[in-house]
């Protein structure tokens, strides 16, 4: 009996030792897994930070001066004389040097008594009516405006009733670590320069896809390619980023309060007073005709 008891005690001790060993192994495996997960998370975080730094440095390295795309106006727009054709360039190269940055006092005074932006004017006899659109690719209200009115504007331009000038700005880049607004505006300028007949189609597609979040350069290139436009080198080279910065600077200089800001000739659309832009458009032309 004594030997059996000793044997049982020995067996029990061995079981405890084995259980402790197994518990220790499980703990080591668990700690090892947590360590690997932590390392992976750290690596991903570092990659994300590096990507943001690279993109941020890329933005800071955009030159002050650069070429203007086809149809460029001296006020930073791209002017369409039909739905497929742009006007002759007014400028070959632009620079942000010398642009005026309004003070808060100037901006508030302009809110009380808004001035008409440069290049926006009343209709004159024998001159085609004109729509000027300030928009930001990251602006949700701009996406709504495009969804509701892009086909209408394209049809009016195709009929020769209006010219449409797109002034695409990067106001919302202050909220974006990837400078999406400026990069998307650059892509649109590339399309206008390469295939103006596809611009309105690509512009509408860009805003229609806004709900998917900010797009990489690769995705912007693919968006243009879906309309059979190759802007690969233009986008990768940031060819028209100086022009986008110029457009944004000119909009600030003219104290554009936000996007979308839309003019029909010299009449400014107030979306709060008249939500339906197409009704405003008809009223603006009717008022022009009376004058």
pLDDT, position 236: 98
Over residues 131-151, the mean pLDDT reads 98
pLDDT, position 150: 98
**Topology classification of domain 62-290:** Glutaredoxin (3.40.30)
Name the pLDDT band for 126 (thresholds 50, 70, 90): confident
Three-state DSSP at 74 gives: coil
Over residues 269-275, the mean pLDDT reads 96
Residue 288's nearest CA partner among 83, 73, 131, 134 is 131
Whether 10 shows a pLDDT value over 60: the answer reads: no
Distance between CA atoms of residues 235 and 187, nearest Å: 6
pLDDT, position 203: 98
pLDDT, position 75: 97
Tens of pLDDT, residues 179-211:
999 999 999 999 999 999 999 999 999 999 999
pLDDT, position 6: 47
Higher pLDDT, 30 or 63: 63
Distance between CA atoms of residues 222 and 211, nearest Å: 17
Domain ranges of the chain: 62-290
pLDDT, position 125: 86
Residue 260, burial from CB neighbour count under 10 angstroms (0-12, 13-18, 19+): buried
pLDDT, position 31: 63
Tens of pLDDT, residues 37-54:
454 544 344 344 434 444
């Amino acid at each position: 009996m004594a030997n059996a008891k000793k044997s049982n005690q020995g067996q029990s001790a061995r079981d405890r030792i084995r259980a402790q060993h197994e518990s220790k192994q499980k703990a080591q495996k668990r700690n090892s897994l947590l360590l690997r997960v932590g390392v992976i998370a750290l690596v991903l975080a570092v990659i994300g930070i590096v990507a943001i730094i690279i993109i941020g440095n890329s933005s800071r390295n955009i030159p002050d001066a650069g070429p203007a795309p086809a149809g460029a106006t001296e006020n930073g727009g791209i002017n369409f004389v039909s739905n497929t054709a742009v006007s002759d360039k007014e400028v070959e190269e632009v620079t942000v040097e010398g642009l005026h940055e309004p003070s808060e006092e100037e901006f508030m005074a302009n809110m009380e008594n808004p001035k008409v932006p440069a290049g926006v004017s009343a209709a004159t006899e024998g001159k085609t009516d004109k729509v000027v659109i300030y928009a930001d690719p990251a602006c949700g209200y701009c996406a709504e405006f495009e969804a509701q009115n892009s086909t209408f504007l394209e049809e009016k331009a195709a009929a020769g009733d209006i010219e449409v000038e797109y002034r695409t700005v990067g106001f919302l880049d202050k909220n974006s670590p990837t400078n999406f607004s400026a990069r998307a505006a650059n892509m649109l300028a590339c399309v206008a320069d390469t295939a103006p007949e596809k611009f309105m189609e690509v512009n509408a597609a860009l805003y229609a896809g806004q709900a998917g979040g900010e797009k990489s350069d690769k995705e912007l290139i693919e968006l243009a390619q879906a309309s059979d436009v190759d802007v690969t080198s233009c986008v990768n080279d940031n060819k028209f980023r100086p022009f986008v910065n110029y457009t944004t600077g000119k909009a600030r200089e003219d104290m554009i309060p936000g996007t979308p800001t839309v003019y029909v000739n010299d009449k400014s659309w107030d979306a709060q007073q008249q939500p339906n832009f197409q009704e405003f458009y008809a009223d603006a032309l009717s008022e022009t005709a009376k004058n």
